[in-house]
């Protein structure tokens, strides 16, 4: 039973839903390749105030409805994408969609946390999918690895660094009079960073679940997780420690997860067979020759101890349009009458640096090029 197209109904038109709608339209050819048939956005359920948002202005006004009945009676919707958030009215929308035999994809954290078990049970009974990758960790892949890669493991613990929610820390500071600046300074003296961590641990008879600020050793990988990035560390009995890291919030990364689930649900609707979701097979890629790559370079060389050494070397680099980012000239070795020069370049073509190196090696003042190493930022 194969279909001509998959119909998508979108609930909500916030920044995440707006991005999903845009990608469904802009990447339609690409998505069709992945699913096997076109994905058609058939209806968007909005609130009256959504219609004045910039993302609404770029779309056909025929797509919009503010009426629940119109949305749920729209023919040809196979997948409902709920991106309105909160429990009410989202819970009723989920139940109505699932009971109507539609697959549901959601980014709704609160709903999945509070009613996930009930909704997954209902979805199984109705033989439809309920997918919620986008509700956990924004753009960070975590639900799919749990369903697939980690499935043979007994999970011993999950540790999630939550940077977004500094609100929590601020509240605690206000409530409990904690002076975090001083505390952090002292902790750093002892080799720790502070982080807000969500922790789940499984032992033989109970699960331990908590969220609070903690100090972690500064040389741990989690201590490096900063800014908009979040990380989830999972410990399994076979796999040991695995860490997933990415943007834990934000409209575009979250839309990436929603779209992954939409494609997966679409593929399930399109293919009656169990064919795993296709990595498109292709064998026609063109490989870039090494000489064409652009990167930064690190050069270390031993030179004679004479005036003008640096100017000669930098002239060769300049001739090949390679610009210097930093230079370290080490003190002269008085006995050997040699000096050491370390140069970091700005991005340059491999071809240019190779040509420059040949010339540098020929210079009378250069005894040896000791190192030539590429730099990735």
Q: What residues from 47 to 76 belong to the interface with a second copy (CB under 8 A)?
A: none
Near a second copy by CB under 8 A, which window of 105-113, 186-194, 305-313, 357-365? Answer: 186-194
Q: Is the Cβ–Cβ distance between 7 and 17 less than 8 Å?
A: no
Interface with a second copy includes 132 (CB under 8 A)? no
Interface with a second copy includes 213 (CB under 8 A)? yes
Q: How far apart are the first and last CA of the chain?
A: 50
Near a second copy by CB under 8 A, which window of 64-72, 106-114, 190-198, 315-323? Answer: 190-198
Q: Is the Cβ–Cβ distance between 241 and 229 less than 8 Å?
A: no
Q: In the complex with a second copy, which residue's Cβ is closer, 47 or 358?
A: 358
- For the bound state, the minimum distance from the C-beta of residue 339 to a second copy, rounded and expressed in Å, comes to 13
Interface with a second copy includes 284 (CB under 8 A)? no
Interface with a second copy includes 29 (CB under 8 A)? no
Tokens linked to 109: 């954290």
Distances (CA, A) of 254 to 15, 144, 225: 10, 14, 19
Distance CA(279)–CA(109), nearest Å, equals: 29
Exactly one of 1, 174, 281, 335 binds a second copy (CB under 8 A); which one? 281
Interface with a second copy includes 288 (CB under 8 A)? yes
**What is the dihedral sign for C-alpha 12, 13, 16, 17?**
positive
Q: In the complex with a second copy, which residue's Cβ is closer, 64 or 197?
A: 197
**CA 202 remoteness from chain centre:** 27
Q: How big is the CA angle at 4 (ends 58 and 14), to the nearest 5 degrees?
A: 30
Site for a second copy in 226-265 (CB under 8 A): 229, 236, 238-247, 250, 252-253, 255-257, 259-260, 262-264
Near a second copy by CB under 8 A, which window of 67-75, 284-292, 313-321, 357-365? Answer: 284-292
Exactly one of 144, 155, 324, 365 binds a second copy (CB under 8 A); which one? 144
- For the bound state, the minimum distance from the C-beta of residue 98 to a second copy, rounded and expressed in Å, comes to 14
Q: In the complex with a second copy, which residue's Cβ is closer, 292 or 362?
A: 292
Near a second copy by CB under 8 A, which window of 88-96, 136-144, 315-323, 356-364? Answer: 136-144
Q: In the complex with a second copy, which residue's Cβ is closer, 47 or 252?
A: 252
- For the bound state, the minimum distance from the C-beta of residue 270 to a second copy, rounded and expressed in Å, comes to 10
**Strand-pair category, 155-161 with 192-202:** antiparallel
DSSP characters over 142-188 = -HHHHHTTTTTSPEEEEEEE--TTHHHHHHHHHHH---HHHHHHHHH
Distance CA(207)–CA(202), nearest Å, equals: 5
- For the bound state, the minimum distance from the C-beta of residue 134 to a second copy, rounded and expressed in Å, comes to 10
Interface with a second copy includes 7 (CB under 8 A)? no
Q: In the complex with a second copy, which residue's Cβ is closer, 13 or 35?
A: 35
Exactly one of 57, 60, 174, 286 binds a second copy (CB under 8 A); which one? 286
Site for a second copy in 93-122 (CB under 8 A): 117, 120-121
Q: Is the Cβ–Cβ distance between 200 and 208 less than 8 Å?
A: yes
Interface with a second copy includes 1 (CB under 8 A)? no
Closest by CA position to 260, among listed 110, 39, 3? 39
**Could you identify the residue written with the tokens 């946390």?**
113
Interface with a second copy includes 18 (CB under 8 A)? no
Distance CA(79)–CA(97), nearest Å, equals: 9
Q: How many residues bind a second copy (CB under 8 A)?
A: 115
Tokens linked to 187: 């902790």
Exactly one of 14, 163, 298, 324 binds a second copy (CB under 8 A); which one? 298
Exactly one of 15, 25, 310, 342 binds a second copy (CB under 8 A); which one? 342
Interface with a second copy includes 168 (CB under 8 A)? no
**Could you identify the residue written with the tokens 């080799």?**
191
- Grouping H, G, I as helix, E, B as strand and the rest as coil, residue 26 is helix
- The dihedrals phi and psi of 234, each to the nearest 5 degrees, come to -115, 135
Q: Is the Cβ–Cβ distance between 82 and 94 less than 8 Å?
A: yes
Q: In the complex with a second copy, which residue's Cβ is closer, 212 or 306?
A: 212
- For the bound state, the minimum distance from the C-beta of residue 42 to a second copy, rounded and expressed in Å, comes to 19
């Amino acid at each position: 039973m194969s279909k001509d197209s998959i119909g998508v109904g979108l609930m909500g038109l916030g920044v995440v839903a707006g991005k999903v709608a845009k990608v469904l339209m802009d990447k339609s050819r690409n998505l069709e390749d992945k699913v096997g048939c076109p994905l058609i956005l058939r209806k968007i359920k909005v609130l009256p105030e959504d219609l004045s948002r910039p993302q609404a202005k770029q779309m056909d006004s025929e797509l919009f409805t503010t009426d629940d009945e119109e949305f749920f009676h729209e023919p040809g919707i196979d997948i409902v994408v709920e991106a309105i958030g909160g429990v009410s009215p989202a819970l009723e929308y989920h139940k109505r969609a699932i009971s109507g035999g539609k697959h549901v994809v959601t980014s709704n954290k609160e709903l999945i946390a509070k009613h996930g078990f009930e909704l997954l049970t209902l979805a199984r009974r109705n033989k439809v999918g309920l997918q919620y990758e986008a509700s956990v960790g924004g753009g960070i892949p975590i639900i799919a690895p749990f369903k697939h890669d980690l499935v043979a493991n007994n999970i011993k613990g999950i540790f999630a660094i939550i940077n977004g929610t500094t609100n929590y820390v601020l509240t605690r500071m206000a409530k409990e009079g904690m002076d975090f600046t001083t505390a952090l300074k002292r902790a750093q003296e002892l080799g720790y960073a502070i982080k807000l961590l969500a922790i789940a641990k499984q032992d033989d008879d109970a699960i331990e679940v908590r969220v609070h600020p903690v100090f972690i050793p500064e040389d741990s990988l989690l201590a490096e997780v900063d800014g908009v990035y979040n990380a989830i560390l999972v410990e399994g009995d076979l796999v040991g420690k695995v860490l997933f890291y990415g943007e834990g919030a934000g409209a575009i990364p979250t839309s990436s997860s929603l779209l992954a689930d939409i494609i997966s649900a679409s593929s399930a609707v399109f293919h009656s067979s169990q064919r795993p979701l296709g990595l498109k097979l292709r064998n026609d890629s063109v490989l870039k020759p090494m000489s064409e790559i652009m990167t930064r370079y690190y050069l270390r060389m031993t030179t004679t101890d004479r005036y003008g050494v640096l100017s000669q070397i930098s002239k060769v680099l300049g001739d090949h349009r390679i610009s210097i980012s930093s230079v370290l000239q080490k003190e002269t070795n008085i006995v050997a009458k040699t000096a050491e020069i370390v140069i970091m370049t700005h991005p340059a073509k491999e071809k240019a640096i190779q040509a420059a190196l040949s010339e540098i090696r020929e210079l009378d003042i250069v005894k040896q090029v000791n190192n030539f190493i590429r730099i990735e930022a």
